[in-house]
Chains A and B, each alone.
Chain A
Amino acid sequence: QVQLVESGGGVVQPGRSLRLSCAASGFSFSTYGMHWVRQAPGKGLEWVAVIWNDNKYYGDSVEGRFTISRDNSKSTLYLEMNSLRAEDTAVYYCARGNYGSGNYFDPWGQGTLVTVSS
Protein backbone atom coordinates (compact mmCIF):
# COMPACT_ATOMS: atom_id res chain seq x y z
CA GLN A 1 0.00 0.00 0.00
CA VAL A 2 0.99 3.63 -0.37
CA GLN A 3 3.14 4.70 2.55
CA LEU A 4 5.11 7.79 3.56
CA VAL A 5 7.51 7.69 6.48
CA GLU A 6 9.21 10.85 7.74
CA SER A 7 12.43 10.92 9.74
CA GLY A 8 15.15 13.32 10.80
CA GLY A 9 13.31 15.38 13.39
CA GLY A 10 14.77 16.29 16.74
CA VAL A 11 15.93 19.14 18.93
CA VAL A 12 18.11 21.76 17.27
CA GLN A 13 19.45 25.12 18.41
CA PRO A 14 18.28 28.36 16.81
CA GLY A 15 20.33 29.25 13.75
CA ARG A 16 21.35 25.67 13.07
CA SER A 17 20.32 23.34 10.26
CA LEU A 18 18.41 20.09 9.99
CA ARG A 19 17.45 17.78 7.12
CA LEU A 20 14.21 15.85 7.08
CA SER A 21 13.55 12.80 4.93
CA CYS A 22 10.36 11.18 3.70
CA ALA A 23 10.63 7.62 2.40
CA ALA A 24 7.89 6.68 -0.04
CA SER A 25 6.69 3.24 -1.06
CA GLY A 26 3.79 1.59 -2.84
CA PHE A 27 3.58 3.98 -5.79
CA SER A 28 5.63 5.38 -8.64
CA PHE A 29 7.35 8.13 -6.67
CA SER A 30 8.94 9.95 -9.59
CA THR A 31 5.59 10.65 -11.25
CA TYR A 32 4.10 12.57 -8.33
CA GLY A 33 4.57 15.99 -6.86
CA MET A 34 5.41 15.95 -3.15
CA HIS A 35 4.64 18.41 -0.38
CA TRP A 36 5.80 19.33 3.09
CA VAL A 37 3.19 20.65 5.53
CA ARG A 38 3.84 21.58 9.15
CA GLN A 39 1.82 21.98 12.32
CA ALA A 40 3.08 23.92 15.31
CA PRO A 41 2.09 22.47 18.70
CA GLY A 42 -1.62 22.99 19.25
CA LYS A 43 -1.97 25.00 16.03
CA GLY A 44 -3.33 24.54 12.53
CA LEU A 45 -1.76 23.37 9.30
CA GLU A 46 0.74 25.41 7.30
CA TRP A 47 1.87 24.45 3.82
CA VAL A 48 5.67 24.60 3.55
CA ALA A 49 6.84 23.53 0.09
CA VAL A 50 6.14 21.46 -3.01
CA ILE A 51 8.32 19.86 -5.64
CA TRP A 52 6.99 18.53 -8.93
CA ASN A 53 9.15 17.79 -11.93
CA ASP A 54 11.90 20.40 -11.58
CA ASN A 55 9.64 23.04 -10.09
CA LYS A 56 9.88 24.06 -6.45
CA TYR A 57 7.64 26.45 -4.54
CA TYR A 58 7.75 27.60 -0.93
CA GLY A 59 5.64 29.22 1.71
CA ASP A 60 6.41 32.81 2.59
CA SER A 61 7.76 32.02 6.05
CA VAL A 62 10.40 29.55 4.81
CA GLU A 63 11.36 31.01 1.44
CA GLY A 64 15.15 31.43 1.27
CA ARG A 65 15.81 29.25 4.34
CA PHE A 66 14.33 25.86 3.41
CA THR A 67 15.09 23.76 0.33
CA ILE A 68 12.94 20.91 -0.92
CA SER A 69 14.51 18.17 -3.01
CA ARG A 70 14.01 14.56 -4.01
CA ASP A 71 15.97 11.48 -5.00
CA ASN A 72 13.76 9.46 -7.30
CA SER A 73 16.23 6.55 -7.30
CA LYS A 74 15.64 6.23 -3.56
CA SER A 75 11.96 7.25 -3.58
CA THR A 76 12.82 9.81 -0.96
CA LEU A 77 11.80 13.42 -0.41
CA TYR A 78 13.93 15.84 1.59
CA LEU A 79 13.59 19.16 3.34
CA GLU A 80 16.81 21.00 4.15
CA MET A 81 16.09 23.56 6.86
CA ASN A 82 18.63 26.30 7.54
CA SER A 83 18.71 29.27 9.92
CA LEU A 84 16.11 27.61 12.09
CA ARG A 85 13.97 29.74 14.37
CA ALA A 86 11.84 28.95 17.40
CA GLU A 87 8.75 29.48 15.25
CA ASP A 88 9.83 26.58 13.02
CA THR A 89 9.03 24.21 15.87
CA ALA A 90 6.37 21.88 14.51
CA VAL A 91 5.44 18.42 13.34
CA TYR A 92 6.47 18.18 9.70
CA TYR A 93 4.35 16.01 7.43
CA CYS A 94 5.13 14.93 3.90
CA ALA A 95 2.20 14.34 1.58
CA ARG A 96 1.77 13.11 -1.95
CA GLY A 97 0.40 15.63 -4.41
CA ASN A 98 -2.33 14.50 -6.79
CA TYR A 99 -3.00 16.62 -9.86
CA GLY A 100 -4.95 14.39 -12.22
CA SER A 101 -8.34 15.49 -10.98
CA GLY A 102 -7.99 18.61 -8.96
CA ASN A 103 -5.08 19.26 -6.66
CA TYR A 104 -5.02 17.54 -3.30
CA PHE A 105 -2.72 15.93 -0.73
CA ASP A 106 -3.19 12.21 -0.25
CA PRO A 107 -1.87 10.36 1.64
CA TRP A 108 0.06 11.99 4.46
CA GLY A 109 2.86 10.56 6.53
CA GLN A 110 2.72 10.31 10.31
CA GLY A 111 5.02 13.30 10.74
CA THR A 112 8.31 14.06 12.45
CA LEU A 113 8.70 16.59 15.26
CA VAL A 114 11.24 19.39 14.99
CA THR A 115 11.94 21.42 18.12
CA VAL A 116 14.05 24.55 17.82
CA SER A 117 15.32 25.50 21.23
CA SER A 118 18.50 26.54 22.97
Chain B
Amino acid sequence: DVVMTQSPLSLPVTPGEPAYISCRSSQSLLHRNGNNYLDWYLQKPGQPPQLLIYLGSNRASGVPDRFSGSGSGTDFTLKVSRVEPEDVGVYYCMQALQTPYTFGQGTKLEIK
Protein backbone atom coordinates (compact mmCIF):
# COMPACT_ATOMS: atom_id res chain seq x y z
CA ASP B 1 0.00 0.00 0.00
CA VAL B 2 1.08 3.59 -0.66
CA VAL B 3 1.90 5.43 2.56
CA MET B 4 1.06 9.14 2.67
CA THR B 5 2.90 11.38 5.12
CA GLN B 6 1.83 14.95 5.85
CA SER B 7 3.61 17.73 7.68
CA PRO B 8 3.11 19.60 9.82
CA LEU B 9 0.29 17.92 11.71
CA SER B 10 -0.66 21.17 13.40
CA LEU B 11 -0.47 24.57 11.74
CA PRO B 12 -1.34 27.79 13.58
CA VAL B 13 -1.59 30.68 11.13
CA THR B 14 -2.26 34.41 11.45
CA PRO B 15 -5.10 35.60 9.19
CA GLY B 16 -3.74 37.04 5.97
CA GLU B 17 -0.55 35.02 6.17
CA PRO B 18 0.29 32.09 3.88
CA ALA B 19 0.15 28.45 4.91
CA TYR B 20 1.97 25.49 3.44
CA ILE B 21 1.20 21.81 3.91
CA SER B 22 3.52 19.10 2.66
CA CYS B 23 2.47 15.64 1.54
CA ARG B 24 4.86 12.85 0.59
CA SER B 25 4.03 9.45 -0.84
CA SER B 26 6.01 6.23 -0.50
CA GLN B 27 5.63 5.62 -4.25
CA SER B 28 5.44 7.93 -7.22
CA LEU B 29 1.94 9.13 -8.01
CA LEU B 30 2.88 10.06 -11.57
CA HIS B 31 0.77 8.07 -14.02
CA ARG B 32 2.06 7.19 -17.46
CA ASN B 33 -0.49 9.69 -18.82
CA GLY B 34 1.58 12.46 -17.24
CA ASN B 35 -0.85 13.26 -14.40
CA ASN B 36 -0.15 13.05 -10.69
CA TYR B 37 -2.98 11.26 -8.90
CA LEU B 38 -2.93 13.32 -5.73
CA ASP B 39 -6.00 15.01 -4.26
CA TRP B 40 -6.46 17.45 -1.37
CA TYR B 41 -9.52 17.57 0.87
CA LEU B 42 -10.58 19.92 3.64
CA GLN B 43 -12.75 18.79 6.53
CA LYS B 44 -14.21 21.76 8.32
CA PRO B 45 -15.37 21.25 11.91
CA GLY B 46 -18.51 19.12 12.07
CA GLN B 47 -18.66 18.64 8.31
CA PRO B 48 -17.78 15.90 5.84
CA PRO B 49 -14.63 16.36 3.78
CA GLN B 50 -14.81 18.52 0.67
CA LEU B 51 -12.64 18.36 -2.42
CA LEU B 52 -10.13 21.19 -2.88
CA ILE B 53 -7.58 20.02 -5.44
CA TYR B 54 -7.37 17.04 -7.83
CA LEU B 55 -4.54 15.80 -10.04
CA GLY B 56 -2.11 17.61 -7.80
CA SER B 57 -2.85 21.13 -8.98
CA ASN B 58 -6.39 21.45 -10.34
CA ARG B 59 -8.77 23.46 -8.16
CA ALA B 60 -12.22 21.98 -7.75
CA SER B 61 -15.26 23.97 -8.78
CA GLY B 62 -16.02 26.79 -6.37
CA VAL B 63 -12.70 26.60 -4.53
CA PRO B 64 -11.17 30.07 -3.98
CA ASP B 65 -8.01 30.83 -5.94
CA ARG B 66 -6.05 31.40 -2.73
CA PHE B 67 -5.77 27.58 -2.65
CA SER B 68 -3.16 26.05 -4.92
CA GLY B 69 -1.49 22.68 -5.26
CA SER B 70 1.90 21.81 -6.66
CA GLY B 71 4.40 19.00 -6.86
CA SER B 72 5.06 15.82 -8.77
CA GLY B 73 6.10 12.25 -8.18
CA THR B 74 6.32 11.82 -4.43
CA ASP B 75 6.41 15.39 -3.09
CA PHE B 76 3.40 17.69 -3.06
CA THR B 77 2.43 20.97 -1.43
CA LEU B 78 -0.85 22.69 -0.70
CA LYS B 79 -0.57 26.46 -0.36
CA VAL B 80 -3.13 28.81 1.07
CA SER B 81 -1.90 32.20 -0.05
CA ARG B 82 -3.77 34.32 2.51
CA VAL B 83 -5.45 32.35 5.26
CA GLU B 84 -8.95 33.38 6.24
CA PRO B 85 -10.85 32.34 9.39
CA GLU B 86 -13.14 30.10 7.30
CA ASP B 87 -10.13 28.00 6.25
CA VAL B 88 -9.84 26.31 9.65
CA GLY B 89 -10.16 22.55 9.65
CA VAL B 90 -8.18 19.44 8.85
CA TYR B 91 -6.51 19.11 5.47
CA TYR B 92 -5.91 15.67 3.98
CA CYS B 93 -3.95 14.56 0.97
CA MET B 94 -4.99 11.33 -0.72
CA GLN B 95 -3.33 9.21 -3.37
CA ALA B 96 -5.79 8.24 -6.08
CA LEU B 97 -3.42 6.24 -8.26
CA GLN B 98 -4.18 2.75 -7.02
CA THR B 99 -6.39 0.88 -4.58
CA PRO B 100 -6.39 0.85 -1.68
CA TYR B 101 -6.60 4.62 -1.85
CA THR B 102 -4.78 6.08 1.12
CA PHE B 103 -4.91 9.36 3.02
CA GLY B 104 -2.33 11.33 4.91
CA GLN B 105 -2.75 11.72 8.67
CA GLY B 106 -4.27 15.16 8.29
CA THR B 107 -3.01 18.66 9.08
CA LYS B 108 -5.05 20.74 11.47
CA LEU B 109 -5.01 24.41 10.50
CA GLU B 110 -6.02 26.82 13.22
CA ILE B 111 -6.10 30.59 13.47
CA LYS B 112 -3.63 32.27 15.82
Contact = CB atoms under 8 A, between A and B. Distances in A.
Contacts of A110: 48
A101 interface: yes
Nearest to A57: B99
Contacts of A98: 54
Given A44-B92, A44-B106, A57 B100 contact: yes
Interface of A: 35, 37, 44-47, 50, 57-60, 93, 98, 101-111
Contacts of B37: 102-103
Given A44-B90, A44-B92, 8 more contacts: A35-B101, A47-B101, A102-B35, A102-B58, A103-B97, A104-B55, A104-B60, A109-B48
B53 to A, nearest CB: 9
A105 B49 CA distance: 9
Main secondary structure of the interface of B (DSSP, over half): loop
B55 A102 contact: yes
Nearest to B37: A103
Interface string B20-56: 0000000000000001010101010000111100110
A45 B49 contact: yes
Main secondary structure of the interface of A (DSSP, over half): strand
B48 A101 contact: no
Contact of B100 (A60, A102, A108, A111): A60
A47 B103 contact: yes
Contact of B54 (A44, A45, A101, A108): A101
B19 interface: no
The winner among B35, B55, B100, B102 for most chain A CB atoms within 10 A is: B100
A44 B105 contact: yes
A107 B43 CA distance: 12
Nearest to A45: B103
B88 interface: no
A103 B105 contact: no
11 contacts: A44-B92, A44-B104, A46-B103, A47-B94, A57-B100, A102-B54, A104-B55, A105-B41, A106-B50, A106-B51, A107-B51
Interchain residue pairs A-B with the least CB separation, the first 6: A103-B96, A102-B55, A104-B54, A108-B48, A106-B51, A47-B101
